[in-house]
C-alpha cells in the first residue's frame, strides 16, 4: 500500500470518495443552495471538520463531484469509441454504457447537469469560475466524442445523413432524460439495468439508422 509523507493514499482517496458520494446524493435531493456542509457530514456520519479536512468549501466539493462524475461516465463510454462493428454499433454501445452509468449514478449525473448553469447562478471566486469553465469544457468534449462517431456513421452509411452536432446533442439529451423517470430499486440487478438501457437506446438509435 503506497504511503506519502505518512499519509495512507488509499485510505485518503477512499475517504474523499465517500464524501463525494454523500455530497452527490445530498445535492441531488436538496439542490446546491439547499445543501450545507453539515448535511454532507451527517450523510457520512462524521463532523464537518472532517469534510473541511478534504475540501475548502461547499463549492469545492461541488466541483469535485462534477469532475468525478464526468470521469466515471467517460471511463464507462470511451472504450466503445474504437470498438468492433460499424459506427452505428459503436454509437449503440456508447449510448448503452452512458445510460447504464446514468442509472447507476443518478446523483452524479444530476450534479453535472446543475453545473451547466452554475456559473451564472452564483458569485464565484476567480479560481472557482475557471475550474467550472474547465469542467464544462470536459463535458463539451464528451459530446464531441459522440459527434465524431456519428460523423463516422454517416460516412460508412450505417446512419442517416443529418447534422452531426444536432444528432449527438439530441441523442445525449434523450439519454439524459432517463433521470426524470428512472429510480433504482435497492435490490435491482445490474443485468436488469443493462437490459433497460439497451431497450431505451434501441428506441433512440433506431430513428438514426440508415434503411
DSSP calls for 144-180: HHHHHHHHHHHHHTSB----HHHHHHHHHHHHHGGGG
Which pLDDT value is given to residue 121?
A: 56
In terms of CATH architecture, what is 57-206?
Orthogonal Bundle (1.10)
1 — pLDDT class (breaks 50, 70, 90)? very low
Residues 6+ apart with CB under 8 A from 63: 128, 131, 132, 135
- Residue-range domain boundaries for the chain: 1-55, 57-206
Whole-number pLDDT of residue 90: 97
At residue 196's C-alpha, the angle toward residues 195 and 197, to 5°, is 90
Q: Are 121 and 52 in contact (CB under 8 A)?
A: no
Indicate the CATH number of 1-55 among 1.10.760.10, 1.10.10.60, 3.40.50.1240, 1.10.3470.10.
Answer: 1.10.10.60
Q: Work out whether the CA dihedral 163, 77, 18, 140 comes out positive or negative.
A: negative
Mean pLDDT of 181-194: 92
Question: CA-CA distance, 28 to 42, in Å (whole number)?
Answer: 15
Region 20-27: mean pLDDT is 96
Q: What is the pLDDT of residues 163-176, one digit of tens each?
A: 999 999 999 999 99
Amino acid at each position: 500500500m503506497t504511503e506519502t509523507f505518512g499519509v495512507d493514499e488509499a485510505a485518503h482517496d477512499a475517504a474523499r470518495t465517500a464524501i463525494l458520494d454523500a455530497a452527490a446524493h445530498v445535492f441531488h435531493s436538496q439542490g446546491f443552495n439547499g445543501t450545507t456542509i453539515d448535511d454532507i457530514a451527517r450523510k457520512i456520519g462524521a463532523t464537518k471538520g472532517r469534510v473541511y479536512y478534504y475540501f475548502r468549501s461547499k463549492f469545492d466539493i461541488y466541483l469535485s463531484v462534477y469532475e468525478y462524475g464526468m470521469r466515471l461516465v467517460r471511463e464507462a463510454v470511451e472504450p466503445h469509441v474504437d470498438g468492433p462493428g460499424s459506427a452505428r454499433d459503436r454509437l449503440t454501445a456508447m449510448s448503452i454504457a452512458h445510460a447504464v452509468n446514468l442509472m447507476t449514478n443518478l446523483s452524479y449525473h444530476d450534479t453535472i447537469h446543475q453545473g451547466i448553469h452554475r456559473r451564472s447562478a452564483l458569485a464565484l471566486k476567480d479560481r472557482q469560475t475557471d475550474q467550472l469553465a474547465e469542467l464544462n469544457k470536459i463535458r463539451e468534449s464528451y459530446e464531441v466524442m459522440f459527434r465524431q462517431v456519428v460523423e463516422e456513421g454517416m460516412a460508412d452509411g450505417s446512419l442517416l445523413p443529418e447534422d452531426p452536432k444536432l444528432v449527438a446533442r439530441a441523442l445525449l439529451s434523450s439519454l439524459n432524460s432517463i433521470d426524470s423517470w428512472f429510480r433504482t430499486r435497492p435490490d435491482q440487478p445490474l443485468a436488469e439495468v443493462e437490459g433497460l438501457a439497451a431497450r431505451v437506446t434501441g428506441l433512440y438509435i433506431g430513428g438514426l439508422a440508415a434503411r
